Structure 1
């Protein structure tokens, strides 16, 4: 997906605009480009910067110089500006619903009352830690390894923490079935490197994290909070030592290890799997998948060797930390104070913005809110135009595969089959999720959150007995993002992203191909990146490559990996080329495919020059401005360690330097810093 940290970043946080034009709703309703006169923000450029030295700085330098990161953000930029526009629309919808006197049990009532319960901080302050008392009491009563195993499983119903994770996902070998995936989890910091690296940056973070553990244990009334905070941290550090490095964790071959439940119990007999699965809510399964199999034995040994008291404190700490946002202002602030250390964000977002995020989340009431959003803000004409663009990109991709010299015709036939089988899903789901079973009470935020969580957890468990649902969306319709689903061979573009400046019906074609066209190409490219290429046209994980073709492909991707390994983002902090490889392949291939599609679209026409810029130049400028943004150093560290996307500057500069058409467009020469000799330029797709 374009912004998979979603997982983590883009799905969780809405980032405010500092460009007033992006906050002007009226602009989007006029029959002219968002950025007049033809779609690129000419004022954002810094023409004093040589494009061949820093194309990102050339395209965005003035904007970055004139727009400081707001104190309540860890970064800002064009993607996040569009999110704020969407966010304001969602607020308008909710406020309308609050005034509508909606019928109890209706979607409108659920949305309005969930938001009301969030905004009632006075009630939360009265309750303090009370909503968690029952959970804390149960955790403190644990006296055996069996009780510990059961509680580890229960954490998914109470937003706690566990050294094991278990989630329901598709079976990569049989994508028409769901499967339980089991692996190592349990860290409170973003990645194992935060525990293991000796750099001063991480020493400071570790010190602050131990203080954070102590503060939350004090809130819970724990004995000797300082001593126990240190023990909890040391426990997590031992888990970090067992965990695989991040690049290995994204390897679909390494993480695909199906095993029967019977064999799991025989191979790892020193942990009570029945109690763990019962805690999750799984009564019976025949088979599951072990994502990191060689970590299970040392992790079980750690569970058995550590005092149960340390595990109890670990569970209480994670329970409070993960639920802090739906507790009192005091507890919420303690959590945010540590967040500053990880992201550099100085102020908490206004409560209403965080409320929109919670209510509109996929595992919130996002399905209900997204349906109303689409009805109000997504025209059918946009869906049709996107369908046409997708088909243009599909044709361009096939053209490029046909001209590849390193791939045999036998493997190309499989690639054509996969490409033709891509299923585009645009705007919104054809079938909306039914959330009637969820009860929402305007005076009970904690209860609302628990009932929503229980609904989705039970729904996932029930999938184990059902065939895969290819109609399901894994993002809300109002999300400013996109994704590729390997097991369904689907490319998905929610309504939220299908707006200017990414998709602008009134912009110059070069701009649309360079922005949303490259996003489409990026998602298509994921079907053929280092991991997506391990799945065939039906979404089955199997090797459809001739061995020599696969070797040629991996030689190409390794060259790209080495390029990114050499990018030093901060002093001593480099991009992990192996970890970011899939996204970098998506960026490079996506932009090349989009350029091919643009060239096809203007074939036979004279190249128009607008404001002194050729079509090629406008195309590449649109790509560079699609990634316009800036991040705080703390956030960049977190991104480098936990996000498979490269920072914005390198999604621009790291890509264009491999594309010969960019050299031609801007007269790049050997004297320029981004210059690569032709034989060092990587062109995979």
Structure 2
């Protein structure tokens, strides 16, 4: 399903805003008392104090940890997010174990959780079945004898998450966010991004060669005809589709990409494609319009669909089916899938334990059943109360910052403040849980469980269409270590699992928490004002609320940030893509800037305590640096640079703080330091 939520580190927009009144850092008697009763939250054993923070702040905060860490064999990278996700999985496993080992009534929540897990874990049955779970779908593909039947199968593939040349899904209408809309977007590739098919460097060519060999291996395991010849044809076909894809840097431009097409006009855009038949097959024949998010792609894929033989399409669709389900088939398919998608692309040395993969799948399909228990066990009410207070302080800091901006006119400022006042905040867990009563789960039928889960979700989608948007829904479960901003709802959401160290420490003085979860909060609020989120107003409507002068100034400031990040070299001759990561970089910069301002506000005029030898401002920055503690394999770093809207962690830490004036004061950063930027070159947006 299409999701327009923006996850932590995916797309935000804000910039440095220095507080007007600097806080004195000399401890008072009150501060001294706090020093005795509260921890600093600074993980001193991880720091490399031999590094000048102005040279490399990331290594200053995390250097010893990085040097001593050996990335686990089943990980492509390892850091704060990874550690907490493993811990969350451990907690979820305890919940699942109590369900999988018990004897519960059929249809109960416990039975569904336990049997979903058991079905995946039963590798003996999976090995015995081999390709059998795909037999009916392969027969369906082989029976395609016309382009009408091909379109019917595209609809079927969309329903069950198999690969098709374009995808279709439901989300709130960007122009009328109280109602749902059906969107289309480009698809059809087995490699992560279009550029993988065309870049001419040695590493990219090795990946293409490995992918071609992987397709042949999978076709051989599946006993498909002429595996080598079919693999080459398929690769060439994917490359043709990739050539039509919109470049990733343009995909986030919702304002430019929103193209609403009435059902009556679909034939004008795609004269060869039987839209009426396709929509009927998807049970969407009552639609009056759809939105093409990449309209040029949809126009061009129409000709490619018609010009490609049905026999070639059958190979493409069988690959889409096999590739989408390989990790749920027998051990040999699962292993072959791992060898390319994890080992080749990300450098992972061995598979995650089977139980962790089973937990991941169970979470994906019955996650809120697990979430209800997780919250009771691992999310105390006082954590939500303290988090709510921090969010309120961040919103207040944003308000003051917007009111004080010297580059924004009053007309735009009024709109920005209106949007800020309308933010919805969700913390911990949903007020209304998903209903899984219609889902049947069988411990002996993994593929049946997956299809029935897809059917349940699809029925829910059809039920929503035509009605008001379900504002109570969450796009992440409580046990997810992440956060997101949803522009069409103008909401920021913080699942329970992220509210733990190093992001949030109930036993630490507030400074490090403002640098950690405070910067995350600021980051998510900032999504509403970044290069993408700023195209939505306070009611979630996609519209331009900027004056021409202010929009021009905003773009000029963000262009400077793009240039800064383009200079970061992750590997020899591999640089961060400043344009593609712009939203995240704006968010990180705004997050730490506003978090620092909010920390100052939280002191209510009192002096910040000095703890463990660090001032309040220093601990805010160190808290920010700690959340980005991450070490990468080279393959994973290359993949992240090419496919992810997040810059690698070390650049997120260093790239943000060098634009914040208080960083220079806190750590005595001078012109001789590597991170130094002249005042006129530091980016300030919000």
TM-score, normalised with respect to structure 1: 0.94
Equivalent residue for 1:12? Answer: none
Is the contact made by 2:485 and 2:528 (CA closer than 8 Å) also made in structure 1?
Answer: yes
Is the contact made by 1:217 and 1:313 (CA closer than 8 Å) also made in structure 2?
Answer: no
| In the alignment, structure 1 residue 344 sits paired with structure 2 residue 347 | yes
1:283 deviates by 2.7
SS at match of 2:257: coil
Equivalent residue for 1:589? Answer: 590
1:633 deviates by 1.4
Is the contact made by 1:2 and 1:519 (CA closer than 8 Å) also made in structure 2?
Answer: no
Query: Using the alignment, how far apart are the partners of 1:281 and 1:633 within structure 2?
Result: 46
SS at match of 2:178: strand
SS at match of 2:255: coil
Is the contact made by 2:8 and 2:523 (CA closer than 8 Å) also made in structure 1?
Answer: no
Change (3 A) 1:36 1:631: farther
Could you report, residue by residue, the CA deviation over 1:153-183 in whole angstroms, capped at 9, with x for unpaired residues?
2112333211111111111000001111012
Equivalent residue for 1:246? Answer: 248
Query: Using the alignment, how far apart are the partners of 1:255 and 1:592 within structure 2?
Result: 31
Is the contact made by 1:158 and 1:319 (CA closer than 8 Å) also made in structure 2?
Answer: no
| In the alignment, structure 1 residue 201 sits paired with structure 2 residue 203 | yes
Q: Equivalent of 1:74, from 73, 76, 83? A: 76
Structure 2 unaligned segments of length 5 or more: list them: 12-33
Query: Using the alignment, how far apart are the partners of 1:374 and 1:497 within structure 2?
Result: 12
Superposed, which structure 2 residues align to 1:352-371 within 5 Å? Answer: 352-361=355-364, 364-371=365-372
Is the contact made by 1:657 and 1:675 (CA closer than 8 Å) also made in structure 2?
Answer: yes
Change (3 A) 1:36 1:196: farther
Query: Using the alignment, how far apart are the partners of 1:4 and 1:218 within structure 2?
Result: 40
Could you report, residue by residue, the CA deviation over 1:31-63 in whole angstroms, capped at 9, with x for unpaired residues?
x99x99421110101112111111101110100
Is the contact made by 1:281 and 1:458 (CA closer than 8 Å) also made in structure 2?
Answer: no
SS at match of 1:360: helix
SS at match of 1:259: strand
Equivalent residue for 2:308? Answer: 306
Change (3 A) 1:2 1:48: farther
Q: Equivalent of 2:326, from 324, 327, 332? A: 324
Could you report, residue by residue, the CA deviation over 1:186-238 in whole angstroms, capped at 9, with x for unpaired residues?
11111011001001111001001111111222233222110110010000001
SS at match of 1:91: helix
Equivalent residue for 2:234? Answer: 232
Q: Equivalent of 1:164, from 151, 163, 166? A: 166
Query: Using the alignment, how far apart are the partners of 2:484 and 2:639 within structure 1?
Result: 22
Is the contact made by 2:38 and 2:509 (CA closer than 8 Å) also made in structure 1?
Answer: no
Equivalent residue for 1:529? Answer: 530
Bigger Cα displacement from structure 2, 137-146 vs 532-541:
137-146
1:626 deviates by 0.5
Could you report, residue by residue, the CA deviation over 1:421-478 in whole angstroms, capped at 9, with x for unpaired residues?
1110000000001010000011111111111122112322332221111111011111
Is the contact made by 1:156 and 1:457 (CA closer than 8 Å) also made in structure 2?
Answer: no
1:4 deviates by 5.3
Query: Using the alignment, how far apart are the partners of 2:395 and 2:607 within structure 1?
Result: 24
Could you report, residue by residue, the CA deviation over 1:391-413 in whole angstroms, capped at 9, with x for unpaired residues?
11111111111110110112111
Bigger Cα displacement from structure 2, 639-648 vs 95-104:
95-104
Equivalent residue for 1:152? Answer: 154
Superposed, which structure 2 residues align to 1:77-476 within 5 Å? Answer: 77-339=79-341, 340-361=343-364, 364-476=365-477
1:70 deviates by 0.8
SS at match of 1:258: strand
1:109 deviates by 0.8
1:577 deviates by 1.4
1:535 deviates by 0.8
Equivalent residue for 1:19? Answer: none
Query: Using the alignment, how far apart are the partners of 1:152 and 1:475 within structure 2?
Result: 28
| In the alignment, structure 1 residue 65 sits paired with structure 2 residue 71 | no
Is the contact made by 2:156 and 2:282 (CA closer than 8 Å) also made in structure 1?
Answer: yes
SS at match of 2:254: coil
Equivalent residue for 1:13? Answer: none
Query: Using the alignment, how far apart are the partners of 2:260 and 2:350 within structure 1?
Result: 45
Change (3 A) 1:281 1:210: farther
Is the contact made by 2:428 and 2:494 (CA closer than 8 Å) also made in structure 1?
Answer: yes
Equivalent residue for 2:31? Answer: none
Change (3 A) 1:502 1:675: same
Could you report, residue by residue, the CA deviation over 1:494-522 in whole angstroms, capped at 9, with x for unpaired residues?
11111122111110211011001110000
Is the contact made by 1:2 and 1:583 (CA closer than 8 Å) also made in structure 2?
Answer: no
SS at match of 2:256: coil
Bigger Cα displacement from structure 2, 294-303 vs 165-174:
294-303
Is the contact made by 2:505 and 2:513 (CA closer than 8 Å) also made in structure 1?
Answer: yes
Equivalent residue for 2:672? Answer: 671
Change (3 A) 1:295 1:132: same
| In the alignment, structure 1 residue 646 sits paired with structure 2 residue 641 | no
Structure 1 unaligned segments of length 5 or more: list them: 8-31
TM-score, normalised with respect to structure 2: 0.94
Bigger Cα displacement from structure 2, 559-568 vs 350-359:
559-568
1:141 deviates by 1.9
Could you report, residue by residue, the CA deviation over 1:360-392 in whole angstroms, capped at 9, with x for unpaired residues?
12xx10011111111111111111111111111
Superposed, which structure 2 residues align to 1:449-598 within 5 Å? Answer: 449-598=450-599
Is the contact made by 2:6 and 2:486 (CA closer than 8 Å) also made in structure 1?
Answer: no
1:603 deviates by 4.5
Bigger Cα displacement from structure 2, 281-290 vs 484-493:
281-290
1:277 deviates by 2.4
Query: Using the alignment, how far apart are the partners of 2:535 and 2:605 within structure 1?
Result: 38
Is the contact made by 1:159 and 1:323 (CA closer than 8 Å) also made in structure 2?
Answer: no
Is the contact made by 2:345 and 2:636 (CA closer than 8 Å) also made in structure 1?
Answer: yes
Query: Using the alignment, how far apart are the partners of 2:662 and 2:494 within structure 1?
Result: 27
Query: Using the alignment, how far apart are the partners of 1:453 and 1:74 within structure 2?
Result: 29
Is the contact made by 1:254 and 1:292 (CA closer than 8 Å) also made in structure 2?
Answer: no
Could you report, residue by residue, the CA deviation over 1:598-635 in whole angstroms, capped at 9, with x for unpaired residues?
11122432332222211111110110011101111111
Query: Using the alignment, how far apart are the partners of 1:603 and 1:445 within structure 2?
Result: 57
Change (3 A) 1:247 1:644: same
Is the contact made by 2:484 and 2:493 (CA closer than 8 Å) also made in structure 1?
Answer: yes
1:86 deviates by 1.1
Change (3 A) 1:3 1:175: closer
Higher-RCO chain (CA-CA 8 Å, sequence separation at least 6): 2
CA RMSD between the two structures: 1.7
Equivalent residue for 2:683? Answer: 682
Is the contact made by 2:419 and 2:539 (CA closer than 8 Å) also made in structure 1?
Answer: yes
